[in-house]
Structure 1
Amino acid sequence: MAACRRPVLVRGPLGIVTAIELAFFLMFLALLVWFYAAFINLDFSKIPVKPGEKMWQAKLDRAALRLGHVGSLCCVFLFFPVARGSSLLQLIGLTSEASIKYHVWLGNLVMFFFTAHGLSYIVFWASTDQIHEMVQWARTKVANVPGELALLSGLAMWVTALPRVRRQMFELFFHTHHLYILFLVFYALHVGVAVFCSILPGVFLFMVDRYLRFLQSRTRVRLVSARLLASEAVELSFCKSPCLTHSPMSTLFVNVPCVSRLQWHPFTVTSSSGLEPDRLSVVIKRAGSWTQKLYETLSFLPTSQPGHLDVSVEGPYSQAASASFLQYDSLVMISGGGGITPFISVIRELVHRSATSAETATPSLLLISVFKTSADLGMLGLIVPASGGFSDISRLELRVEAFVTRESTASAGDVVRKEPAKLVWFEPLPSHAPIAPVLAHSSWLWLAAVVSSSFVIFLLLVGAVQRLYIYPVDGNSNRVYPWAARTLLNLLFLCVSVAVAASAAVLWNKRRNAEAKQIKNVASPATSLATWIDKPPDGEAEVESSPLHYLEQVTRVHFDRRPDLNRMLLEIGGTNVGVMASGPPGLLEDVATICASQSASNLHFASISFSW
C-alpha cells in the first residue's frame, strides 16, 4: 500500500497523482468506454432508419443519445466529493480538500460528454432539416430547451473553473459555480424523474450537507482576539465549545459581513483541540482584495478597548486521514509562504500528545519554510498560541530551517528591530455563540438520522402525490400528466424533506446544548510575540525555559537562497519518513518528483493543496 501511494504522475493536467489514484482513474475510464461501447453495439445491431434519413444520420442519433447517458454516469459520482461533512469521505480516508480534485476530474468528464452530446444533436438536426427541434419543449417526453439551458449553465461553470481563470478571477469562479442549482433543475426537466433518480444519491447527500452548512452559517460566532503580524498576516482566535474536536490541518470557512456578505474563504485551522479545548484559531495571509480589506479593518481597531466584529463560519471539516502523520518515525514538513499554516496545527498537536501520552512516541520533526522577505519570518511565531505558551515543546525533536529568498543578511538589518505584532481583543455580543458542532457531538449518528428520515419523508410525499393526484390524471385516456410539472414537484418534495429533517435535528440539538452559549469569554494574557530574527529591546535574552527561547535555538535562518530540497530530503535516514508539502504548485511538484525517485524509497509523500 505504501508503494501504491507514491506519486507516479507529477507534472501534468491531472496534477500530482499516486499509483492507486491512477489505477482507479483508468478503471473508471474503462468503465465509461465499456458502458458506451456496449450500448453502441446493441443500438447499431438493430438500428431503425426512418424514411428520408440516411444510415450515418441514424447512427449519429443513437451515438449522441448514448453520449448523454455516459455523461449521466459521470454525474452519478460528481457530488460525492464536495459533500464536506459527509461520512463517506471519512470511511475511505479522504479529507474534504483532498477530494476536490476528484470533483474536478469528474466535472471535466461530465462537461466533455454533455458538450459532445449537445453538439452531436445539433449536427443531427441540421443534417435532417430539424433545427426547429432546438426550441421544442415536449410535454410528455425528453424536452430539448431545458437540456440546452443545463448545458449553457454547465459551460459557464466549466470555463470559469479553468485553473487560470479561477486563480486570477476567483470571485467570478465562486459566484458562477452557484449555477449548479440551475444545472440540476434544467437537467431534471430535460431527462425526467426516472433518469434523474440515477444521480439522486450524490445529489441528495450534497443537499443535506449544503443545508446543514447553511444553518451553521446563520450563527454569529464569538471572536476572541486577532493578532496582526508585520508580514501582513492575521491570526483570528475564536471561542469554541469543548465538545467540538477537530484534527490537525482541518479547514474552516470564514465570512466577515463587514468585508463582504457573500464571500466565504477557506483557511487552515492552526489550533489543536487537545491543547486548546476552548479556542479555535486560523491564520489569514494577506494575498487578495478580501484579505487586504480584512487586514485593514483590523488594523484600524484600537488595542486599548475591546472591539466588535461579526463573523460567521462553516466547519471545521476534518477527517481521520488528517492525523496520518503519526504513523511515521520522522516527519519532514516543507512549506512555501502561507503554506506553513497546516504545519502549525501539526506541531501543536504533537506538543499536546508528547505532554499527555508519555508512552506514545512522537516523530522527529524537520520544518523547512521558504519565505520571500524577512518580515514573513513572523509566521513562525504563530507556533506559540496567543492564549498562552506551552512549556513542553522541548519534548519534541524539532528542527526548523527557514529560507528568505529575496533578501540578504545585510538588507534585512533594517527590519530586525521591527515593531511587535498588534493584538486586538474583542468583546462578545449576547447574540454571539461559540463554534459548536452543527449536529452535536455524535455528528455521524445525527447525520445518518437526518439522511434516513429526510429520505423517508421524500418517499412518503412522492408516493402520496403520485397515488392521489398524478395517477388519476394519467389514468384518463385523454390526458397525460406533464413531465415538467411532475419533475418540479419531485424537486420541491426533495427540498422540503431535507429542510424539515435537518432543521428539526439542528433545533433539537440547540435546545439540548443551550448551556454552550453560557461559555464565558475569559481573556487570557497573550504571549509575547518575539520574531525569530528579533532580539528583546533591552538586549536581555529570553528565559531559557520559555517556548520562544527553545524555538529560537532550533531555528536557523538562511538569507538570499532557496533550499536544496533534493539534497536535504535524500540525506534523511530512516525507513519510514513522511514528507508533507504545502504551498505553491511548483513547490509541491518539486517535492513530489524527489519522493517519486527510486533513490527515495524511504520517503512517503503527502500533498496538502487547496483547490476550493
Structure 2
Amino acid sequence: MAMDQPLLLSTTEEAYVKKTNRTRFFVSSARWVLKITMWVIFVAWIALFFMIPSTFGTTLYDDWVDATSGTLFGETGTVFLLYSGPILIIAILAIPYLIMSGKEEEEAEEEPKEKKTPRFRLRTFPVLVDGPFGVVSAAELIGIILFPVFVIWAVYAYTVVNYSILPDYGSLTPGEKGTFMLQMTAYCFGLIALSCLAFLFLPIARGSILLRLIDIPFEHATRYHIWLGNLTMFLLTLHGLSYMIVWIIRGILLKEIVEWKSDGGANFAGVICYCFGLLMWVTTLPPIRKKYFELFFYTHQLYILFVIFLALHVGDTNFSKAAGGIFLFMLDRFLRFCQSRRTVGIISATSFPCGTVKLVVSKPESLRYNALGFIFLRIRELSSLQWHPFSVSSSPLDGKYHISVLIKAVGDWTTKLRGKISNISAEESQTELSIQPHSKITASVEGPYGHESPYHLMYENLILVAGGSGISPFLAILSDILHRTKERKPCLPRNILIVWAVKKSNALSLLSTVNIESICPFFSDKLNIEMQAYITQEFGPPLEEGNVNKAMISSVFPVSNEGGMSVLVGTGNKMWPGIYVVSSTIGFVICLGLLDIYYINPFSISKWWYRGLLWVACMVLSVFIFGGLVVALWHHWERTSAKEECEENREKIDIVKHNEQLANEDVFQEKLASSSTIIYGCRPDFREIFGSMSKRWGHVDVGPFISLSDSIVTKPESELYHEADGRKQHDCSIGSTTILPSVESKGA
C-alpha cells in the first residue's frame, strides 16, 4: 500500500492542504478570540456586582445614570445594559463559538484520540463529599463561596453608604436613626436579592446556549438553581421582615401592606410575589418534594406569577437587573413548548419480566444526541401534564431514525405505562394483528439533553457503577463503544468494568438490549469488557435458570405510527438555536424602543408598576413574534428534511424491529455467562473493587461513571466517592436517578 502512494503531493492537493490548514488556523484563532472576549465580559460582569455596593461604585453608577438619562431608553436602558447586557452578549458570542467548536469536533472524529494522562481539573475534582451540598467539585466550591462573600460584602458596603447619608436627613433621635438604618437595610436586602435573581433562571434553561457553552447539562446545573433559590428566598424573607418591623414601629403596618404606590414599589404586589415564592420554597423542602413530588411540580409553575408580580413590585428599572436571565429562560421555555406539541411515533415497545419497559421512539436523521443524553417523555393517555425524564439506552450509531429508553415501573405513572403496554400485548395476542393495535399510546418528547461532549470516549479505562435500572445509560455507552470499534472510528476505551447491583436476577434480561455479537463480533480482540453483577435479594441461581433466556422478553410489538421527534430542542444543532436567540434579543430591543418612542415618552408614563408590566409584555411579545418567526422557518426546514427521509425511515423501522428479535436468541445467555461474574446475596465492596483495578491498571486516568436508581447500593454516595478518590480522575454521566457529583433526583 505504501508503494502505491505518491511521495509528493500534486499542485492541486498541496494547495488544498494549505487552504485547509489556513482555515483551521483561522477557526482556531477566532475561537480563542471569542473565548477570551467572553471571559473578559464575564469577569467584568461579576466585578460590577461587587463594585456597585461600595461608595466608589455607587458614585460611578449615579454618574453613569445621569449621563445616559437623556437617551432613548433612559435610566432603565442603562441599568439593563449594565446588569443584563453582559449575559446576553455572552449568549450571542457563544453561538459562533459553538458552531466553530462543532466543526472542529467533526474533524477530530476522523483523527485518532490521544491517551489521557491523570491531571487536576477544577470542574471534576471533588473537594467536599460530606455535607448539605452533596459532592462538590473545586469549581463549584468557588461559586458556593463567592455568593455568600458577595452578600456579606454588599450588606457591609450598603450599610457604610447608608450611614454616611444619615446627616442629610437632619437631626434624628437614636431610635429614629435605628429605624432609618433598618429601613435602608431592608431595601438593600431587596437589591441583593435582585442580583441573585439575575443568576437564578440561568441553570434551569434546559437547552440554554450558556449551558452548552460550558458543557454542563441542565440536570447537573439544577442544583445551582436550588442553592440560589434558597439564598434568594432567604434574602427576600429578610427584606420583607425588616420592612414589616419598621412599619410596626411606626404604626403603619396594615396601611403599608395594602399600598400600591405609583412612584415607588407597589407593596401589595410585593406581598403577593413573596407568597408565591414562599409556596415554591416550602414545597422544595426534601420531605415534601420527595413524598409529594406532584405538589412540588405544580406549585413550581407559580414562577410565572412570581415574575409578573415581581415586575409590578419593583418597576421596570429594578426589574431590568434580573431581566437577562429571565429572558433567556423564556426563550428556552417557548422552544420547549413548541417542540412538545408534536405527536411522536413509538416504533416498538418491549416488556421485560423484571418490570421494565423499553420504548423505541422515532426521530429524524437531523436530530443529533449523545450516548450520555436523556429525554423528557409524556404519554397523553396517562397524563396530559406529567413529563418524566429517562436516560437514553441506545447509541446514536444504533440507527439514524430511532432512539430508545428503558423505563422501570416504580411509581404510579410508570406502573400505569407498563399496564397499558401489557394490555396492548394481550390484544395483539388475541387478534394476531401485528400492524395496528386496538389500543394506542401517544407520546410527546422534549430533548434530547445532556453533555455535548462524549466523555465516555475520553478515557482508556472506564468503571461503570450502576444500581437497578441505572444500567440504562451504560447500555448506551457500551453500544456506542462497540459500534465505534466495529466501524474503526476514534475510540479511546480499551478496558471496561461494569459493576451492577440489582435485587432480582430477572433484571439481567435488560442486557439483551445490547447484542454484542451482532454489533461487533470480534470485539474481544480490541476491548476487554468485564461485568460484575450483584444479585442482592437472591442467594443462588433460580431453578428455572436453564430456561430463563426463553422468558427474557415477554413481548415486542409496534405501538403507533406517528411522526418523529422535533429537532427544536436538544444537543446537536447550533445554527437554528443561534438564529432564534439573536432574532429574539434584537426583537426585544426593538419592542422596548417602539414602546418608548410611541407610548411611554409621548404619554409620560411614570407609574413604576405599570412600566414593569410593560417590560414583561415586551419580553413575551419579542419571544412570540420574533422568536416565533424563526421557529416557523425552522419547522418548515424540518418538514422539508423529513419528507426526504420518510421512505428510508420506514425501512429503518423494520430493521429496528428485526434487531429487537435478534436479542432473544439463545446465544445471549451463553455470552452473558461467559463474560460476566454473577454474585448472589451480597452487595459490591467498592474499596476492594477500586483497589483491585488500581493494582491491575496502575497509575492511569480512569473515568468512573456512577448511575443509581434506588437503594440497592446502600453505601453513602460520599463514601463510595471517597473510595474512588485519590487514584482516579472523576467525570460523571447522567443516570436514571442519582448522579455523582450531581445528586439530583430525576426518577419517575
TM-score, normalised relative to structure 2: 0.74
Deviations 1:68-123 (A, max 9, x none): 11111111111111111112112212112111111111111111111111111111
Q: What are the equivalent positions in structure 2 for 1:228-307 lying under 5 Å apart? A: 228-301=351-424, 302-303=427-428, 304-305=432-433, 306-307=436-437
1:337 maps onto 2:505 in alignment: no
Distance 1:471 1:25, change over 3 A: same
Distance 1:529 1:422, change over 3 A: farther
Q: Which SS does the other structure have where 1:55 is aligned?
A: helix
1:611 maps onto 2:737 in alignment: no
Q: What are the equivalent positions in structure 2 for 1:394-543 lying under 5 Å apart? A: 394=524, 395-409=526-540, 412-413=542-543, 417=547, 419-426=551-558, 428-429=560-561, 432-438=562-568, 443-474=573-604, 481-515=606-640, 516-517=642-643, 518-519=646-647, 520-521=649-650, 522-524=653-655, 525-528=658-661, 542-543=666-667
Match of 1:593 in 2: 719
Q: Which amino acid aligns with 2:576?
A: W
Q: Distance in 1 between matches of 2:505 and 2:559?
A: 33
Match of 2:337 in 1: 214
| Contact residue 326 and residue 363 of structure 1 kept, 8 A | no
Deviations 1:579-604 (A, max 9, x none): 11111587597454354469732342
| Contact residue 315 and residue 610 of structure 2 kept, 8 A | no
For structure 1, the 5+ residue unaligned runs are 475-479, 537-541
| Contact residue 446 and residue 569 of structure 2 kept, 8 A | no
| Contact residue 200 and residue 229 of structure 2 kept, 8 A | yes
1:106 aligned residue (208, 218, 228)? 228
Q: Distance in 1 between matches of 2:729 and 2:591?
A: 55
Q: Distance in 1 between matches of 2:371 and 2:659?
A: 22
2:131 aligned residue (1, 6, 12)? 12
Between stretches 361-370 and 211-220, larger displacement belongs to: 361-370
Cα offset, 1:18, TM superposition: 1.4
Deviations 1:140-167 (A, max 9, x none): 2111111111111111111111122212
Q: Which SS does the other structure have where 1:571 is aligned?
A: helix
Distance 1:416 1:7, change over 3 A: farther
Cα offset, 1:447, TM superposition: 1.8
1:174 aligned residue (273, 289, 297)? 297
Q: Distance in 2 between matches of 1:30 and 1:56?
A: 25
Q: Which SS does the other structure have where 1:214 is aligned?
A: helix
- Greater fraction helix: 2
Cα offset, 1:206, TM superposition: 0.6
| Contact residue 471 and residue 500 of structure 2 kept, 8 A | yes
| Contact residue 353 and residue 552 of structure 2 kept, 8 A | yes
| Contact residue 465 and residue 498 of structure 2 kept, 8 A | yes
Match of 1:539 in 2: none
Q: Distance in 2 between matches of 1:90 and 1:488?
A: 31
| Contact residue 253 and residue 313 of structure 1 kept, 8 A | yes
Q: Which amino acid aligns with 1:453?
A: S
Q: Percent same amino acid at aligned positions?
A: 31
Cα offset, 1:168, TM superposition: 1.4
Q: What are the equivalent positions in structure 2 for 1:310-329 lying under 5 Å apart? A: 310-321=442-453, 323-329=454-460
Q: Distance in 2 between matches of 1:170 and 1:390?
A: 42
For structure 2, the 5+ residue unaligned runs are 1-118, 733-739
Q: Distance in 2 between matches of 1:354 and 1:154?
A: 51
1:558 aligned residue (650, 655, 679)? 679
Q: Distance in 1 between matches of 2:587 and 2:663?
A: 58
Match of 2:143 in 1: 24
| Contact residue 448 and residue 571 of structure 2 kept, 8 A | no
Cα offset, 1:482, TM superposition: 2.4
Q: Which amino acid aligns with 1:491?
A: V
Match of 2:51 in 1: none
| Contact residue 361 and residue 403 of structure 2 kept, 8 A | yes
Q: Distance in 2 between matches of 1:365 and 1:385?
A: 14
Q: Distance in 2 between matches of 1:393 and 1:62?
A: 70
Q: Which amino acid aligns with 1:287?
A: V
Q: Distance in 2 between matches of 1:185 and 1:589?
A: 45
1:571 maps onto 2:697 in alignment: no
Match of 1:129 in 2: 251
Distance 1:403 1:315, change over 3 A: same
Q: Distance in 2 between matches of 1:349 and 1:88?
A: 27
Q: Which SS does the other structure have where 1:99 is aligned?
A: helix
Distance 1:558 1:444, change over 3 A: same
Between stretches 38-47 and 4-13, larger displacement belongs to: 4-13
Distance 1:353 1:49, change over 3 A: farther
Distance 1:441 1:70, change over 3 A: closer
| Contact residue 408 and residue 469 of structure 2 kept, 8 A | yes
Deviations 1:47-86 (A, max 9, x none): 3478786222111111111111111111111111111111
Q: Distance in 1 between matches of 2:170 and 2:275?
A: 31
1:165 aligned residue (271, 288, 291)? 288
| Contact residue 97 and residue 609 of structure 1 kept, 8 A | no
| Alpha-carbon RMSD | 2.6
Match of 2:208 in 1: 86
Distance 1:481 1:278, change over 3 A: same
Q: Which amino acid aligns with 1:468?
A: Y
Q: Which SS does the other structure have where 2:247 is aligned?
A: helix
TM-score, normalised relative to structure 1: 0.90
Q: Which SS does the other structure have where 1:260 is aligned?
A: coil
